[in-house]
Amino acid sequence: MHACDWAGKWLEYTCYQLKDSIDHGDTDLYVPFYSIHGRSTYTPEKLSELNAHTWGLGYGRSVINGDGDWYSLYGMVFQDSHDKPEYLGGWGYQTYWGSRDSLQAGLGYTVFVTLRSDYGNYLIPVPAILPLASVRYGSASLMASYVPRLSANKGNGDVLFIFAKFSF
């Protein structure tokens, strides 16, 4: 039996990417540092209460395959918009354009589970799939993910989360 035989045909490729990241991946350091909250989603009073400096740290393992695509298994902890710790672990994928030895743009997605104080006081894991974009030069990347507005009501979602990634 192979490591990913349990996954079935539709998950087998992703399972092998996860295994490849762990066994052969580069070590990644993630540094979350800033969030931009949508100005039309939040009142000025609420914006003044929200934390934009999402300082934190993360660790991951990633692979750049033969096509130049990137995939990673990662975990992060950072200050959320309410100045509380947020814990996040997941998998990311991006395809890149441009020569590997120059500035490259990447687009993809991340699938993760997060624990937050405002969802069950860290007891209810919240799964999500979000878009992921980056600009990469060598082993350094500036990355961003967008949390869309979560309802018709103003006051939640519409956040651009920005972080750096360094590979070793």
Give the mean pLDDT of 135-153: 91
Summarize pLDDT for 9-44 with one digit per residue, the tens: 667 767 777 777 778 889 999 999 999 999 988 989
Tokens of 61: 């393992």
> Looking at the annotation, which residues are catalytic?
37, 80-81
| Count of domains observed in the chain | 1
Q: How far apart are CA 165 and CA 117, in angstroms?
A: 25
Q: How far apart are CA 81 and CA 19, in angstroms?
A: 33
DSSP 20-73: HHHHHPEEEEEEEEEEEE-TTTS-HHHHHHS-----EEEEEEEEE-TTS-EEEE
- Which CATH number fits the domain that encloses residue 127? 2.40.160.20
Range of the domain at 55: 5-167
What residues contact 24, with CB distance under 8 A and at least 6 apart? 63
Q: Decide: residue 67, CB within 10 A, 0-12 exposed, 13-18 middle, 19+ buried.
A: exposed
Confidence of residue 115 (pLDDT cuts 50, 70, 90): very high
**pTM higher than the cut 0.85:** yes
What residues contact 100, with CB distance under 8 A and at least 6 apart? 64, 68
